[in-house]
Structure 1
Protein backbone atom coordinates (compact mmCIF):
# COMPACT_ATOMS: atom_id res chain seq x y z
CA UNK A 1 0.00 0.00 0.00
CA UNK A 2 2.84 2.37 0.86
CA UNK A 3 4.42 1.68 -2.53
CA UNK A 4 1.11 2.44 -4.26
CA UNK A 5 0.69 5.73 -2.38
CA UNK A 6 4.26 6.72 -3.19
CA UNK A 7 3.61 5.94 -6.85
CA UNK A 8 0.52 8.18 -6.79
CA UNK A 9 2.47 11.02 -5.18
CA UNK A 10 5.32 10.67 -7.66
CA UNK A 11 2.91 10.62 -10.58
CA UNK A 12 1.12 13.77 -9.39
CA UNK A 13 4.44 15.55 -8.95
CA UNK A 14 5.49 14.66 -12.50
CA UNK A 15 2.29 15.76 -14.22
CA UNK A 16 2.57 18.52 -16.81
CA UNK A 17 0.26 21.17 -18.22
CA UNK A 18 -0.45 18.72 -21.03
CA UNK A 19 -1.72 16.14 -18.53
CA UNK A 20 -3.90 18.70 -16.73
CA UNK A 21 -5.34 20.08 -19.99
CA UNK A 22 -6.04 16.58 -21.31
CA UNK A 23 -7.87 15.63 -18.13
CA UNK A 24 -9.92 18.84 -18.04
CA UNK A 25 -11.09 18.39 -21.63
CA UNK A 26 -11.73 14.70 -20.88
CA UNK A 27 -13.99 15.66 -17.98
CA UNK A 28 -15.89 18.19 -20.11
CA UNK A 29 -16.21 15.64 -22.91
CA UNK A 30 -17.72 12.91 -20.76
CA UNK A 31 -20.14 15.37 -19.16
CA UNK A 32 -21.25 16.43 -22.65
CA UNK A 33 -21.67 12.76 -23.53
CA UNK A 34 -23.83 12.19 -20.47
CA UNK A 35 -26.00 15.15 -21.52
CA UNK A 36 -26.28 13.76 -25.07
CA UNK A 37 -24.53 16.87 -26.39
CA UNK A 38 -22.58 16.86 -29.64
CA UNK A 39 -19.86 18.85 -27.84
CA UNK A 40 -18.64 15.48 -26.59
CA UNK A 41 -16.69 15.26 -29.85
CA UNK A 42 -14.72 18.54 -30.23
CA UNK A 43 -13.73 18.45 -26.55
CA UNK A 44 -12.90 14.76 -26.81
CA UNK A 45 -10.69 15.33 -29.84
CA UNK A 46 -8.54 17.81 -27.92
CA UNK A 47 -8.26 15.45 -24.96
CA UNK A 48 -7.33 12.40 -27.03
CA UNK A 49 -4.56 14.19 -28.94
CA UNK A 50 -2.93 15.29 -25.68
CA UNK A 51 -3.37 11.87 -24.05
CA UNK A 52 -1.68 10.11 -26.98
CA UNK A 53 1.31 12.39 -26.56
CA UNK A 54 1.45 11.66 -22.81
CA UNK A 55 1.12 7.86 -23.15
CA UNK A 56 3.97 7.43 -25.64
CA UNK A 57 6.49 9.30 -23.52
CA UNK A 58 9.57 7.33 -22.35
CA UNK A 59 8.88 5.40 -19.16
CA UNK A 60 5.10 5.30 -19.69
CA UNK A 61 4.78 2.95 -22.64
CA UNK A 62 0.99 2.58 -22.63
CA UNK A 63 0.94 1.93 -26.35
CA UNK A 64 -2.41 0.16 -26.35
CA UNK A 65 -3.97 3.09 -24.53
CA UNK A 66 -2.30 5.47 -26.97
CA UNK A 67 -3.65 3.49 -29.93
CA UNK A 68 -7.04 3.52 -28.24
CA UNK A 69 -6.99 7.30 -28.15
CA UNK A 70 -6.02 7.46 -31.82
CA UNK A 71 -9.11 5.33 -32.41
CA UNK A 72 -11.09 7.73 -30.17
CA UNK A 73 -9.96 10.56 -32.42
CA UNK A 74 -11.13 8.76 -35.57
CA UNK A 75 -14.46 7.75 -34.02
CA UNK A 76 -14.94 11.28 -32.69
CA UNK A 77 -14.72 12.66 -36.21
CA UNK A 78 -17.12 9.96 -37.44
CA UNK A 79 -19.45 10.42 -34.46
CA UNK A 80 -19.49 14.19 -34.87
CA UNK A 81 -20.67 13.74 -38.44
CA UNK A 82 -23.12 10.92 -37.60
CA UNK A 83 -24.74 12.78 -34.71
CA UNK A 84 -25.32 15.92 -36.76
CA UNK A 85 -26.38 14.08 -39.92
CA UNK A 86 -29.98 14.84 -40.75
CA UNK A 87 -32.50 12.29 -41.94
CA UNK A 88 -35.17 12.92 -44.57
CA UNK A 89 -37.22 14.78 -41.98
CA UNK A 90 -34.20 16.94 -41.09
CA UNK A 91 -33.88 15.41 -37.63
CA UNK A 92 -30.66 14.42 -35.90
CA UNK A 93 -29.94 10.73 -35.36
CA UNK A 94 -31.80 9.73 -32.19
CA UNK A 95 -30.70 7.61 -29.23
CA UNK A 96 -31.56 3.95 -29.81
CA UNK A 97 -31.00 0.46 -28.41
CA UNK A 98 -28.40 -1.90 -29.86
CA UNK A 99 -29.94 -4.68 -31.94
CA UNK A 100 -28.57 -8.21 -32.27
CA UNK A 101 -26.43 -7.48 -35.32
CA UNK A 102 -24.87 -4.40 -33.76
CA UNK A 103 -24.19 -6.23 -30.51
CA UNK A 104 -22.49 -8.99 -32.49
CA UNK A 105 -20.28 -6.43 -34.21
CA UNK A 106 -19.47 -4.76 -30.87
CA UNK A 107 -18.49 -8.08 -29.27
CA UNK A 108 -16.42 -9.00 -32.32
CA UNK A 109 -14.57 -5.69 -32.11
CA UNK A 110 -13.86 -6.32 -28.43
CA UNK A 111 -12.71 -9.94 -28.74
CA UNK A 112 -10.84 -9.78 -32.03
CA UNK A 113 -9.37 -6.42 -31.09
CA UNK A 114 -8.13 -7.83 -27.79
CA UNK A 115 -6.28 -10.60 -29.59
CA UNK A 116 -4.81 -8.42 -32.30
CA UNK A 117 -3.71 -5.63 -29.97
CA UNK A 118 -2.19 -8.14 -27.55
CA UNK A 119 -0.12 -9.77 -30.30
CA UNK A 120 1.09 -6.39 -31.54
CA UNK A 121 2.05 -5.23 -28.05
CA UNK A 122 3.66 -8.54 -27.13
CA UNK A 123 5.82 -8.84 -30.23
CA UNK A 124 6.38 -5.28 -31.44
CA UNK A 125 6.59 -3.14 -28.30
CA UNK A 126 8.23 -2.99 -24.89
CA UNK A 127 4.86 -3.00 -23.10
CA UNK A 128 4.96 -4.68 -19.68
CA UNK A 129 1.16 -5.06 -19.50
CA UNK A 130 0.09 -6.27 -22.96
CA UNK A 131 -2.91 -8.37 -21.84
CA UNK A 132 -4.63 -5.69 -19.77
CA UNK A 133 -3.61 -2.85 -22.05
CA UNK A 134 -5.10 -4.71 -25.02
CA UNK A 135 -8.32 -5.53 -23.12
CA UNK A 136 -8.88 -1.93 -22.03
CA UNK A 137 -8.36 -0.75 -25.59
CA UNK A 138 -10.54 -3.32 -27.36
CA UNK A 139 -13.57 -2.97 -25.06
CA UNK A 140 -13.36 0.81 -25.34
CA UNK A 141 -13.19 0.45 -29.15
CA UNK A 142 -16.57 -1.26 -29.02
CA UNK A 143 -17.97 1.38 -26.70
CA UNK A 144 -16.82 4.24 -28.90
CA UNK A 145 -18.29 2.60 -31.99
CA UNK A 146 -21.66 2.31 -30.25
CA UNK A 147 -21.39 5.87 -28.91
CA UNK A 148 -20.78 7.18 -32.42
CA UNK A 149 -23.97 5.42 -33.48
CA UNK A 150 -25.80 6.89 -30.45
CA UNK A 151 -26.53 3.50 -28.89
CA UNK A 152 -27.38 3.25 -25.19
CA UNK A 153 -25.22 0.18 -24.65
CA UNK A 154 -22.05 2.16 -25.39
CA UNK A 155 -21.93 2.92 -21.66
CA UNK A 156 -21.67 -0.77 -20.75
CA UNK A 157 -18.63 -1.42 -22.95
CA UNK A 158 -16.95 1.83 -21.89
CA UNK A 159 -17.37 1.00 -18.23
CA UNK A 160 -15.96 -2.50 -18.62
CA UNK A 161 -12.92 -0.77 -20.11
CA UNK A 162 -12.84 1.87 -17.35
CA UNK A 163 -13.08 -0.75 -14.60
CA UNK A 164 -9.92 -2.50 -15.79
CA UNK A 165 -8.12 0.71 -16.74
CA UNK A 166 -8.12 2.20 -13.24
CA UNK A 167 -5.74 -0.28 -11.55
CA UNK A 168 -3.66 -0.44 -14.74
CA UNK A 169 -3.11 3.33 -14.70
CA UNK A 170 -2.21 3.34 -11.01
CA UNK A 171 0.24 0.53 -11.66
CA UNK A 172 1.86 2.54 -14.46
CA UNK A 173 2.17 5.58 -12.15
CA UNK A 174 -0.45 7.63 -14.01
CA UNK A 175 -2.63 8.71 -11.06
CA UNK A 176 -4.15 11.77 -12.74
CA UNK A 177 -5.48 9.66 -15.61
CA UNK A 178 -6.56 6.97 -13.12
CA UNK A 179 -8.63 9.52 -11.21
CA UNK A 180 -10.06 10.76 -14.50
CA UNK A 181 -11.05 7.19 -15.35
CA UNK A 182 -12.75 6.76 -11.96
CA UNK A 183 -14.71 9.91 -12.74
CA UNK A 184 -15.54 8.54 -16.19
CA UNK A 185 -16.78 5.32 -14.60
CA UNK A 186 -19.15 7.17 -12.26
CA UNK A 187 -20.47 9.42 -15.02
CA UNK A 188 -20.90 6.44 -17.38
CA UNK A 189 -23.09 4.60 -14.85
CA UNK A 190 -25.24 7.71 -14.54
CA UNK A 191 -25.09 8.26 -18.30
CA UNK A 192 -26.53 4.83 -19.03
CA UNK A 193 -29.66 5.51 -16.99
CA UNK A 194 -29.93 9.08 -18.27
CA UNK A 195 -29.82 7.94 -21.89
CA UNK A 196 -32.34 5.21 -21.08
CA UNK A 197 -34.67 7.88 -19.74
CA UNK A 198 -34.18 10.03 -22.85
CA UNK A 199 -34.83 7.00 -25.05
CA UNK A 200 -38.13 6.28 -23.29
CA UNK A 201 -39.15 9.91 -23.64
CA UNK A 202 -38.46 9.68 -27.38
CA UNK A 203 -40.68 6.59 -27.62
CA UNK A 204 -43.51 8.37 -25.82
CA UNK A 205 -43.17 11.41 -28.08
CA UNK A 206 -43.30 9.23 -31.19
CA UNK A 207 -46.47 7.53 -29.92
CA UNK A 208 -48.21 10.85 -29.29
Structure 2
Protein backbone atom coordinates (compact mmCIF):
# COMPACT_ATOMS: atom_id res chain seq x y z
CA UNK A 1 0.00 0.00 0.00
CA UNK A 2 2.90 2.34 0.84
CA UNK A 3 4.39 1.69 -2.61
CA UNK A 4 1.14 2.71 -4.29
CA UNK A 5 0.99 5.86 -2.13
CA UNK A 6 4.55 6.70 -3.09
CA UNK A 7 3.76 6.28 -6.79
CA UNK A 8 0.67 8.49 -6.45
CA UNK A 9 2.68 11.15 -4.60
CA UNK A 10 5.39 11.05 -7.28
CA UNK A 11 2.80 11.29 -10.06
CA UNK A 12 1.17 14.27 -8.33
CA UNK A 13 4.53 16.00 -7.98
CA UNK A 14 5.18 15.55 -11.70
CA UNK A 15 1.87 17.07 -12.74
CA UNK A 16 2.09 20.49 -14.37
CA UNK A 17 -0.02 23.43 -13.29
CA UNK A 18 -2.03 23.13 -16.50
CA UNK A 19 -2.73 19.46 -15.87
CA UNK A 20 -3.92 20.20 -12.33
CA UNK A 21 -6.19 22.92 -13.72
CA UNK A 22 -7.58 20.50 -16.31
CA UNK A 23 -8.34 17.89 -13.63
CA UNK A 24 -10.05 20.45 -11.36
CA UNK A 25 -12.14 21.73 -14.26
CA UNK A 26 -13.08 18.17 -15.25
CA UNK A 27 -14.32 17.43 -11.74
CA UNK A 28 -16.20 20.76 -11.67
CA UNK A 29 -17.83 19.78 -14.97
CA UNK A 30 -19.16 16.53 -13.51
CA UNK A 31 -20.40 18.13 -10.29
CA UNK A 32 -22.25 20.83 -12.24
CA UNK A 33 -23.62 18.24 -14.69
CA UNK A 34 -25.10 16.31 -11.76
CA UNK A 35 -27.04 19.48 -10.89
CA UNK A 36 -27.96 20.04 -14.57
CA UNK A 37 -26.21 23.39 -14.47
CA UNK A 38 -25.27 24.47 -18.00
CA UNK A 39 -22.12 26.09 -16.60
CA UNK A 40 -20.71 22.57 -16.66
CA UNK A 41 -20.08 22.98 -20.38
CA UNK A 42 -17.81 25.98 -19.79
CA UNK A 43 -15.71 23.81 -17.47
CA UNK A 44 -15.78 20.97 -20.00
CA UNK A 45 -14.62 23.25 -22.82
CA UNK A 46 -11.77 24.72 -20.76
CA UNK A 47 -10.65 21.34 -19.43
CA UNK A 48 -10.64 19.65 -22.83
CA UNK A 49 -8.89 22.63 -24.44
CA UNK A 50 -6.06 22.22 -21.93
CA UNK A 51 -5.93 18.47 -22.48
CA UNK A 52 -5.87 18.99 -26.26
CA UNK A 53 -2.69 21.04 -25.90
CA UNK A 54 -1.15 18.75 -23.26
CA UNK A 55 -1.69 15.57 -25.26
CA UNK A 56 -0.42 17.22 -28.45
CA UNK A 57 2.70 18.35 -26.60
CA UNK A 58 3.52 14.77 -25.56
CA UNK A 59 2.65 13.43 -29.04
CA UNK A 60 -0.52 11.60 -28.03
CA UNK A 61 -2.18 12.73 -31.23
CA UNK A 62 -5.30 10.55 -31.07
CA UNK A 63 -5.99 11.63 -27.49
CA UNK A 64 -5.52 15.23 -28.58
CA UNK A 65 -7.96 14.73 -31.46
CA UNK A 66 -10.46 13.10 -29.10
CA UNK A 67 -10.38 16.17 -26.88
CA UNK A 68 -11.05 18.40 -29.89
CA UNK A 69 -14.24 16.36 -30.29
CA UNK A 70 -15.02 16.92 -26.61
CA UNK A 71 -14.57 20.67 -27.10
CA UNK A 72 -17.09 20.62 -29.95
CA UNK A 73 -19.49 18.59 -27.82
CA UNK A 74 -19.15 21.14 -25.01
CA UNK A 75 -20.45 23.82 -27.36
CA UNK A 76 -23.20 21.51 -28.65
CA UNK A 77 -24.15 20.43 -25.12
CA UNK A 78 -24.35 24.03 -23.88
CA UNK A 79 -26.70 24.93 -26.73
CA UNK A 80 -28.86 21.86 -26.27
CA UNK A 81 -29.20 22.27 -22.52
CA UNK A 82 -30.27 25.91 -22.88
CA UNK A 83 -32.31 25.77 -26.11
CA UNK A 84 -32.97 22.12 -26.96
CA UNK A 85 -36.44 21.86 -25.41
CA UNK A 86 -39.76 22.75 -26.97
CA UNK A 87 -40.03 26.34 -28.21
CA UNK A 88 -36.39 27.11 -27.45
CA UNK A 89 -36.76 26.12 -23.79
CA UNK A 90 -34.09 24.35 -21.68
CA UNK A 91 -33.70 20.68 -22.53
CA UNK A 92 -35.39 18.30 -20.04
CA UNK A 93 -33.99 14.97 -18.92
CA UNK A 94 -35.09 12.25 -21.32
CA UNK A 95 -34.81 8.48 -21.66
CA UNK A 96 -34.03 6.16 -24.53
CA UNK A 97 -36.05 3.04 -25.23
CA UNK A 98 -34.75 -0.48 -25.78
CA UNK A 99 -34.36 0.11 -29.53
CA UNK A 100 -32.07 3.11 -29.07
CA UNK A 101 -29.93 1.33 -26.50
CA UNK A 102 -29.69 -1.80 -28.62
CA UNK A 103 -28.48 0.23 -31.60
CA UNK A 104 -26.00 2.03 -29.36
CA UNK A 105 -24.62 -1.24 -27.96
CA UNK A 106 -24.29 -2.63 -31.48
CA UNK A 107 -22.50 0.50 -32.71
CA UNK A 108 -20.04 0.48 -29.80
CA UNK A 109 -19.36 -3.24 -30.26
CA UNK A 110 -18.81 -2.91 -34.02
CA UNK A 111 -16.49 0.11 -33.79
CA UNK A 112 -14.60 -1.48 -30.88
CA UNK A 113 -14.08 -4.68 -32.89
CA UNK A 114 -12.75 -2.83 -35.92
CA UNK A 115 -10.58 -0.44 -33.93
CA UNK A 116 -9.29 -3.15 -31.60
CA UNK A 117 -8.40 -5.41 -34.51
CA UNK A 118 -6.47 -2.64 -36.27
CA UNK A 119 -4.62 -1.73 -33.08
CA UNK A 120 -3.74 -5.34 -32.30
CA UNK A 121 -2.45 -6.01 -35.83
CA UNK A 122 -0.57 -2.83 -36.60
CA UNK A 123 0.49 -1.38 -33.24
CA UNK A 124 1.89 -2.50 -29.92
CA UNK A 125 -1.06 -1.03 -28.04
CA UNK A 126 -1.77 -2.49 -24.61
CA UNK A 127 -5.25 -3.96 -24.23
CA UNK A 128 -6.31 -2.80 -27.74
CA UNK A 129 -9.92 -3.95 -27.46
CA UNK A 130 -10.42 -2.59 -23.95
CA UNK A 131 -8.80 0.71 -24.93
CA UNK A 132 -10.99 0.89 -28.03
CA UNK A 133 -14.11 0.15 -26.02
CA UNK A 134 -13.52 2.90 -23.46
CA UNK A 135 -12.65 5.41 -26.20
CA UNK A 136 -15.61 4.82 -28.51
CA UNK A 137 -18.09 4.29 -25.68
CA UNK A 138 -16.97 7.64 -24.25
CA UNK A 139 -17.52 9.35 -27.61
CA UNK A 140 -21.08 8.09 -27.84
CA UNK A 141 -21.88 8.63 -24.15
CA UNK A 142 -20.70 12.24 -24.34
CA UNK A 143 -23.35 12.79 -27.01
CA UNK A 144 -25.91 11.24 -24.63
CA UNK A 145 -24.93 13.74 -21.94
CA UNK A 146 -25.37 16.60 -24.41
CA UNK A 147 -28.86 15.30 -25.17
CA UNK A 148 -29.61 14.80 -21.46
CA UNK A 149 -30.28 11.08 -21.81
CA UNK A 150 -30.75 9.71 -18.28
CA UNK A 151 -28.97 6.42 -18.91
CA UNK A 152 -25.71 8.17 -19.76
CA UNK A 153 -24.75 7.80 -16.10
CA UNK A 154 -25.05 4.01 -16.33
CA UNK A 155 -22.84 4.03 -19.40
CA UNK A 156 -20.24 6.13 -17.58
CA UNK A 157 -20.24 3.72 -14.64
CA UNK A 158 -19.28 0.87 -16.97
CA UNK A 159 -16.75 2.99 -18.87
CA UNK A 160 -15.10 4.39 -15.73
CA UNK A 161 -14.96 0.99 -14.03
CA UNK A 162 -13.24 -0.47 -17.10
CA UNK A 163 -10.88 2.50 -17.37
CA UNK A 164 -9.87 2.16 -13.71
CA UNK A 165 -8.71 -1.39 -14.42
CA UNK A 166 -6.91 -0.21 -17.56
CA UNK A 167 -5.03 2.61 -15.83
CA UNK A 168 -4.05 0.51 -12.81
CA UNK A 169 -2.65 -2.11 -15.17
CA UNK A 170 -0.62 0.62 -16.91
CA UNK A 171 0.62 2.03 -13.58
CA UNK A 172 -1.35 5.29 -13.93
CA UNK A 173 -2.53 5.25 -10.35
CA UNK A 174 -3.35 8.95 -10.07
CA UNK A 175 -5.55 8.83 -13.16
CA UNK A 176 -7.21 5.68 -11.82
CA UNK A 177 -7.90 7.51 -8.55
CA UNK A 178 -9.44 10.39 -10.50
CA UNK A 179 -11.76 7.95 -12.27
CA UNK A 180 -12.80 6.47 -8.92
CA UNK A 181 -14.09 9.95 -8.05
CA UNK A 182 -15.84 10.08 -11.44
CA UNK A 183 -17.49 6.74 -10.69
CA UNK A 184 -18.81 7.98 -7.35
CA UNK A 185 -20.07 11.24 -8.87
CA UNK A 186 -21.83 9.24 -11.61
CA UNK A 187 -23.90 7.45 -8.98
CA UNK A 188 -25.15 10.76 -7.61
CA UNK A 189 -25.74 11.98 -11.16
CA UNK A 190 -28.01 9.03 -11.90
CA UNK A 191 -29.97 9.54 -8.68
CA UNK A 192 -30.46 13.28 -9.20
CA UNK A 193 -31.40 13.05 -12.88
CA UNK A 194 -33.79 10.17 -12.20
CA UNK A 195 -35.57 12.22 -9.54
CA UNK A 196 -35.94 15.10 -11.98
CA UNK A 197 -37.14 12.79 -14.75
CA UNK A 198 -39.79 11.24 -12.54
CA UNK A 199 -40.96 14.66 -11.44
CA UNK A 200 -41.33 15.94 -15.00
CA UNK A 201 -42.44 12.79 -16.81
CA UNK A 202 -44.21 10.74 -14.16
CA UNK A 203 -47.06 9.82 -16.50
CA UNK A 204 -45.28 10.08 -19.85
CA UNK A 205 -43.61 7.28 -21.88
CA UNK A 206 -39.89 7.20 -22.55
CA UNK A 207 -38.68 9.32 -25.46
CA UNK A 208 -37.38 7.70 -28.59
TM-score range, shorter chain: 0.7 to 0.9
- State the TM-score, normalized to the length of structure 2: 0.82
Alignment of 1:31-42 (within 5 A): 31-42=31-42
Consecutive unaligned residues in structure 1, runs of 5 or more? none
8 Å CA contact retained: 1:110, 1:141:
no
**Aligned-partner SS, 1:127:** coil
Alignment of 1:24-103 (within 5 A): 24-55=24-55, 58=58, 66-103=64-101
CA distance 1:127–1:27, change in 2 (3 Å): same
Of the three residues 182, 187, 190, the one matched with 1:192 is: 190
1:28 Cα offset (Å):
0.5
**Aligned-partner SS, 1:89:** helix
Q: CA RMSD in A?
A: 2.8
- State the TM-score, normalized to the length of structure 1: 0.82
- Identify which of structures 1 and 2 has the higher relative contact order when contacts are C-alpha pairs closer than 8 Å and 6+ apart: 1
Q: Which moved more, 1:146-155 or 1:75-84?
A: 75-84
**Residue 146 of structure 2 corresponds to which residue in structure 1?**
148
1:162 Cα offset (Å):
0.5
CA distance 1:80–1:105, change in 2 (3 Å): farther
1:131 pairs with 2:134: no
8 Å CA contact retained: 1:114, 1:135:
yes
**Residue 108 of structure 1 corresponds to which residue in structure 2?**
106
| Matched length | 204
1:184 Cα offset (Å):
0.9
**Residue 20 of structure 1 corresponds to which residue in structure 2?**
20
CA distance in 2: counterparts of 1:38 and 1:22, whole angstroms? 18
Q: Which moved more, 1:3-12 or 1:30-39?
A: 3-12
